[in-house]
Chains A and B, each alone.
Chain A
Amino acid sequence: MKPHANRRPLDRRSFLRSTSAGVVIGLPFLEAMSRNSLSVATAGEITEDERPRRSVFCFWGLGMNGRDYTPQETGKDYQLTPILKPLAPHRDDMTVISGLKLTHSGGHSGDRTFLTGTATHAADAKLRISADQELAEVVGRQTRFPSLQLGVRRGTGFGSPQDNTLSWTRSGTPLPAENRPHVLFDKLFRPETPEMLAQREESFAEQQSVLDAVREEARRLEKSLGKNDRRKLEEYFTSIRDLEKRMATDRQWLHKPKPQVEAPDFGDEQSLDPEKTSLDYRRYQRLMFDVIALALQTDSTRVISYMARKDNSDGTGAYRKETDNPYGYHTMTHHGEDPDKLKWWTIVDTHYMEEWAYFLDRLKNITEGDGNLLDHTMVVWGSSGGTINAHNNHHLPTMLCGGGRLGIQHQGHLVKEDVYLGNLWQTMFGVMGVPVPGDFQGGEADGIISEVV
């Protein structure tokens, strides 16, 4: 087996250079790729109808200091507030949306409700699918990764007080998030060795043997069960069917070469892991955004959820280390009108906003067609906390960025009083060309935000 034999047919090689991070990407090879698998190859040449539509959902737990964030004026000519200042270069590519609400939970524990509309941390809450996964069910099959789940902390966090992930499957199982940019990069781009390929193939075959056997066992069991139990066992059959479908897709992708991309300079990887106290937050955050940009650029996925900041505590306490900030993020949000806490809160929020500006910058600096990657990607900055001090889950700070060439009409500062956050997701489904699923957001969406489309 010579898995690499047909991987070097291309004589033309060009580079994309990121202005800000110095990341060099070797463009992969046109003819070798399926149209959709590697759109970076056709950057500048791709035709309008081939261009993928993408959605990125970023969650920043615990809201923001609204007094220094929410613009006074509405419309396109609003005055940039202190926290929004870092986004000045992008003001035409974003809409600040004020007034959106969640109703089932929020304040500083609405992480689970953010993309699901109704799931909460309450012991009895019914867990349901998140919007990104509903999107991935439709558009995900066209890419190697139907969706990516990312977070500032690894895993699902399920069972602990706050989640680490925004993404939930149809039956309400949390999907684990990755938080190390270098590991994410490897998952996306590191080529499999022939040994690994053979091992994966063998393991698929073994799993298939097990699944075949247990399906038989389930049929045997089914015959003996009463009606209600049989309905319950249906889940088991469905899980096997779904898993087999997933394995079949994975196997197909297994033999398609991964996009060839030059790795960013990850440097000391220990300090890129937010689980470690040695975390170098800014480097982690920017590399995370770099790799996300690469994932989108190479059309490795079209749907990403990213819990960039956790609820209740920010997840790392990162900015306390960088400045002399005496407060944890949670403490600042419960400022009790203490001016010192409010002051620090704005400083920290502005730091975070600089990172967000970096992300938008990255996407904008990647050419795609006659526009750029940001033009073809809807990127949301969102939170489940309005005024944390009062535990509000209304007036959520929300920003829709990018998507200009997907039909998004940016409106500067838009006020949508008492409108479901789910309506923003519904708007994005429309732009993605995905029909609104049944029981969308458990009923916590009742239309679109028509001003932006």
Chain B
Amino acid sequence: MPMFLPRHVLFALLMFALCGARGLAAPPEVERDYQEQVLPFLAKHCFECHGPKDGKAGLTLHDLGVDFAAGDNADQWKEVIDRINLGEMPPEEKPRPDVRQAFAVVQWVGRELKRAERESRLAGGQVMLRRLNRREYINTVRDLLALDDNFAATLNETLPADGKAEGFDRVSAALFVDATQMDAYLAAARLIAEEAIVVGPEPAGEKIAFEAEVKTQPERDTHRETIFGERVEYPLGVKQYEVHKTGVLHIQSKFGNGRGPLTWGRFESVVLNDLVTEDGYYRVRIRAGAARGRRGEPIQMRLAYATGTSVASETIVPVNHSLEQPGLVETVLFLRAGEPGQSRRLTLQWNGLEKVIRGNEKWAKTIKTPSRAVPQQIAAAKAAGDQQKVDELYKLRDDYIRRAKEFNEPFFAYTEDYADHTDEVPKLFFDSFEIEGPVHESWPPPSHRLLLGGPTPENADLQLARDVVARLLPRAYRRPVKPGEVEQITAVVQRGVTDHDMTFPQAMRLGLQAVLCAPQFLYVAEPSAEAEAPRALDDYELASRLSYFLWSTMPDETLFRLAEQGQLHRPELLRSQVERMLNDPRSAQFVESFAGQWLSVDQFGSVEPANQYQDYDAELEEASKQEVLAFFAEVLARDLPITNFLDSDFLVINERLARHYGIEGVEGRQFRKVAITPAHHRGGIFGMAGLMTLLADGTRTLPVRRAAWIMENVFNDPPPPPPPNAGEIQPNTAGENLTVRERLDRHRNEPTCASCHTRLDPFGLALENYDAIGAWRTHANGENFRRNSPELDVSGELPSGRRFDNLEGFKTALMAERERFAKAFSEKLLTYALGRPVGYVDRRTIDELTAALDENDYRLRSLVQAIVASEAFRTK
């Protein structure tokens, strides 16, 4: 293939846009590397059997060439490297190829395979028509119709999840519409229309109310225990709650195990099956007061609804009233009805479940605990046929029963800590409870008022329908309407009235369903006539690209206004709008969507750590997801350099993560920025617990997987595909005590594998100090390592030759290669922004983006600005 001059390249691009041709534009080095590295290797080792003279197994390699898009070239090339990787070719009796040369071929083919796949989806660089993904759809209907957030979120279950290409769910090639998808759109539109447009007056809610002292059974005066099946009864001692005339006083607690203020104790529960028959808001009023006691922690209540079901939710409310003067604790909950017949209850809990009351230790130590061993001993004696022993044990058993019956001490008492200070015990006085709903903030709801102006007569005329549609459509289609479009939808409303016997509001719902299923709504469409060359977007199209890029939703009033005035495309306005949008809370959608996918947060939780990782719990898992997003949000909000992703002198964490990371002085569930030093062994994305857990398998670390992830996500240079059936490293076998590194060394016996792994593995081995749940370690752990576990060696050398001895050194080496990361990150963000693969056609854009980063201290917003300013972003 000839070397293109820039003008030729441009011409080629144009041809792409016109003909949808594929595979024309290839970087010049592809051909060069083929000539210099690949062809000589093939000629030396392969052509004898698979060349011009002979085509063994029907395979000739001399004519495969560099065009991976032609015929089944890609498959054949894949076969070639698989055989080389497996060591099957050249055959055994032939001279072995030089490992480095073989690897160069494998790497070249691997990159070209990836490139061919990208180019095939690239359509010459044109941004293709694509449908909204699920996130965008839900955000858009919420903003379009002023729907409630909670309701909108339920649509997640109605719509299927989206496919991804290039790592993101914004790429046309992976966003299909088929019958199943369309069926889901119809179902979603129906739900939305029923929510948005209401019929009739506000439905009356229902109420459940009770007084605590009436519902609560007084605690018994005695405590019952059993011993060998026989019941024994003791004086209760200290009560866990006391029923008073006006309410119930709860005292903490005999079950707390002293686990402290983060755990919760249940004190009441209410069945809501008959009250919550539709999704909606329900008002809860609890009259209560509390005393913090010695612990001093504010007393809170947790209202947990339908725990363990798909409609579960919970709310935490503080109790700010004193024991002496209880007051109303009021909150509004969004509760979901779930499936018919599903049992749902609201459980009332309070915090700080700690051990205030203890059981009688004498009873436990002298009677109950030792008696537990007897049945097993009896069974063992019976099995051994030792009748004498059996008889003795039966006597022992009877003795325990006798002593248990004689025992007559109070069973519960305050723990030592509180025995002399019973006035310092945390307490909760629970007076009464009331729940009522569904309640509506207003009626008709905002969506109805937005669409129809106010309550709507059942038989309004078609003129109203036309007005409503004319107001709605420009926002739904995100551009001024075209002739006939309003009439089309109005006709649907008309058919509702005439063909389906609907009232006016019902027919309006049908019309709204048609809007929500129309391709003009579902797709981000940028019309372009047949023979048109790349063209600048109009201001409305630009507004949509911006809002879906930075907010994952439709443009707001400001963007629409600027589009209407024809101002938006002006560079200085564009800049200020991007700033405004990034400062807007809606940019959290960008963080969640882009960072969530780039850093694989959407896959966190997929690895289930084994029992031996006792520190891993649901709270840590949740916090580890939040951490990544909070960190990215911090970099975005403060416009920090993207090199912070490689290493940083701060983290954004909460108490749970701080505990996991061994960082002191972080309290509470809130995430906040925390300064760290190298001694903390964290910073950047590499030490993030969620990522390290994902890139392990729950029992052990997977350095190759960690390395491959880094190559893919940090350097956008995925390793060549592994040979088929590439094994994985065996877990540590008891007794051998080999570190993963040592096992990996054994595993790399095939020289061609070794060459790739030599390049790849250091990235993963460098992170070996993070165990399978991202905890810091210096010695091997997990698996079967119990005693004498070997010390870890994390040293290595990057392909560039930079050596490192430890994690800090590794990060220093990465920092030195930050330009590579900047390029990769630019490619990722551009892919996301455009919703299409980024390929060779974009090389100048990428140069511009990395230059912008370089000039601006690598600050994140400078990259976002440069992308928005780029020609690729502003043209169809």
Contacts and interface: CB of A to CB of B under 8 A. Distances in A.
Do A and B pair up? The answer is yes
Interface of A: 101, 103, 107, 123-124, 127, 155-156, 158-162, 169-175, 202, 205-207, 209-211, 213-214, 216-218, 220-221, 224-229, 231-233, 235-236, 238-240, 242-243, 246, 269-270, 275-277, 312-313, 326-328, 330-331, 334, 336-338, 389-394, 443
B527 A228 contact: no
A246 B157 CA distance: 22
Interface stretch (B50-58, B179-187, B453-461, B862-870): B179-187
B432 interface: no
Contact of B500 (A101, A202, A240): A202
B176 A235 contact: yes
Contacts of A393: 725
B177 A236 contact: yes
B164 interface: yes
Contact of A276 (B161, B308, B513): B308
B424 interface: no
A313 B606 CA distance: 10
A301 B160 CA distance: 24
A221 B532 CA distance: 17
B166 A124 contact: yes
B628 to A, nearest CB: 16
Interface in B101-134: 117, 123, 126, 128-130
Contacts of A161: 603, 605-607
Top 9 A-B residue pairs of the complex, sorted by shortest distance between their CB atoms:
A161-B606, A224-B527, A242-B179, A229-B129, A171-B176, A226-B528, A171-B178, A158-B161, A336-B731
A389 B164 CA distance: 30
A337 B597 contact: no
Interface of B: 17-18, 20, 75, 117, 123, 126, 128-130, 157, 160-161, 163-167, 172, 174, 176-183, 186, 189, 308-310, 341, 343, 482, 484-485, 488-489, 491-492, 495-496, 499-500, 510, 513-514, 517-520, 522-523, 525-530, 532, 597, 602-603, 605-608, 610-611, 697-699, 724-725, 727-728, 730-734, 783-784
B181 A173 contact: yes
A121 to B, nearest CB: 8
Chain B contact residues: helix, strand, loop or mixed: loop
A103 B733 contact: no
B725 A103 contact: yes
Q: Which of A155, A205, A235, A277 has the most CB of B within 10 A?
A: A235
Contact of A213 (B488, B522, B525, B731): B488
Contact of A210 (B189, B527, B607, B697): B189
Given A221-B527, A225-B129, 7 more contacts: A160-B605, A172-B163, A206-B496, A209-B510, A226-B530, A275-B310, A392-B727
A226 B532 CA distance: 8
14 contacts: A123-B597, A161-B603, A173-B160, A173-B180, A209-B499, A210-B514, A214-B519, A229-B528, A235-B177, A236-B522, A313-B608, A326-B611, A328-B611, A336-B699
A224 B519 CA distance: 13
B180 A209 contact: no
Contacts of B698: 330-331, 334
Given A156-B160, A331-B699, A393-B725, A169 B519 contact: no
A217 B518 contact: yes
Contacts of A214: 514, 517-519
B123 A394 contact: no
A217 B488 contact: yes
Given A213-B489, A228-B126, A235-B176, A275 B309 contact: yes
Contacts of B130: 232
Contacts of A243: 179, 182-183, 186
B727 A228 contact: no
Contacts of B491: 213
Nearest to A246: B179
A229 B733 contact: no
A221 B157 CA distance: 29
Contacts of A228: 20, 123, 126, 128-129
A214 B511 CA distance: 11
Contacts of B523: 221, 233, 236
Contact of A107 (B728, B783, B784): B728
A311 to B, nearest CB: 10
A217 B514 CA distance: 9
B160 A158 contact: yes
Nearest to B180: A173
A160 B604 CA distance: 9
Nearest to A230: B129
A198 to B, nearest CB: 12
Given A123-B167, A232-B129, A242 B178 contact: yes
Nearest to B783: A336
A334 B608 CA distance: 12
Contacts of B164: 123-124
A389 B731 contact: yes
Contacts of B18: 227
Nearest to A207: B186
Given A169-B180, A210-B513, A226-B530, A394 B734 contact: no
Nearest to B529: A226
